[in-house]
Amino acid sequence: MTKKATTSKAAPSKAAPSKAAAKKTAAVKESAAAKKTAAVKESAAAKKTAALKKAAAAKPVVKKPVAKKTAAAKKPLVAEPSTALVRRARRINRELAEVYPYAHPELDFENPFQLVVATVLSAQTTDLRVNQTTPALFAKYPTPEDLAAANPEEVEEILRPTGFFRAKTKSVIGLSKALAEEFGGEVPGRLEDLVRLPGVGRKTAFVVLGNAFGRPGITVDTHFQRLVRRWEWTDETEPDKIEAAVGALFPKSEWTMLSHHVIFHGRRICHARKPACGACPIAPLCPAYGEGETDPEKARKLLKYEKGGYPGQRLNPPQAYLDAGGVPAPPLGAG
């Protein structure tokens, strides 16, 4: 009985190692399968990456063409002005039109030729001095052909009072030759033709177009530049950009008279060094009010030309100017 019992107890110990071995074998198989799967995946990924690189290397690189800027895509010279600025600018012009209903070009002329010559001569001097000088010039050389054939020394002597007379002589004789040879002795009525003439820039061209041909233009002289910046119509400093910025504020039909109004005001009240702020009719609209004399009595003493009891610039002014109380300028050498 004892022997059988011992044999029967030993049987389970043989079965136990058999289960552990099975577990170990299963684990080894599972690990091997996992490694194989991972290796397969890694190999597939590597092959795919290699294929992509090979395809990318084989594919030609095509550069996208850079789009050229067209005229429409360029930034406009002048930004769209605000409604408030347009309203204020136009109100100032209306006020000035009431103050200076007789505003006009302050150079004496009887035809386009006289006007273009007088405008060229007005550089670095006053319109008054030009008006006192041109009667003798046009009496001796009434046409472009006459002035083109003139003796430069004789012309210099006539133009001496205007300053820079040698350079001005060269310009007026040169433009007269151009008129005689290229335009049949007639002043052209187009901007692109006028600016080809010696001594004629955009400012001179617009004076001629607006006042001799009735074609709108903005005359950006020193007075105009000063005032439109004081009024904050623009902060530009170059004449062509000022012209564009101010032109955007007004209908084209108003450009010529706008120029006269602004220049008249700049010469008479809104002076460069000491504006007569206390006597200014548009003071409530002016952002620069206070830069000059604000006392009304002292400001009135600063007024120039007819408003201050002095004659204007022209020897032969328009009748509207005379009717408003304006006085003609004296001829050269008078009192």
- Packing angle, helices 83-99 and 255-268, rounded to 10: 70
- How far apart CA 144 and CA 176 sit, in angstroms, is 5
Find the DSSP H helices in 127-221: 127-140, 144-148, 152-159, 165-182, 191-194, 202-212
Contact 276/299 with Cβ under 8 angstroms? yes
- How far apart CA 93 and CA 237 sit, in angstroms, is 21
> Which residue in 108, 127, 168, 203 is the catalytic one?
203
DSSP-derived secondary structure letter, 282: T
Nearest to 248 by CA among 93, 77, 74, 95: 77
> Which residue in 108, 221, 304, 323 is the catalytic one?
221
DSSP 3-state assignment of 102? coil
- How far apart CA 114 and CA 21 sit, in angstroms, is 124
Farthest-apart Cα atoms in the chain, separation: 168
Active site residue 240: no
Active site residue 203: yes
- How far apart CA 73 and CA 67 sit, in angstroms, is 11
Instruction: List residues with catalytic annotation.
Output: 203, 221
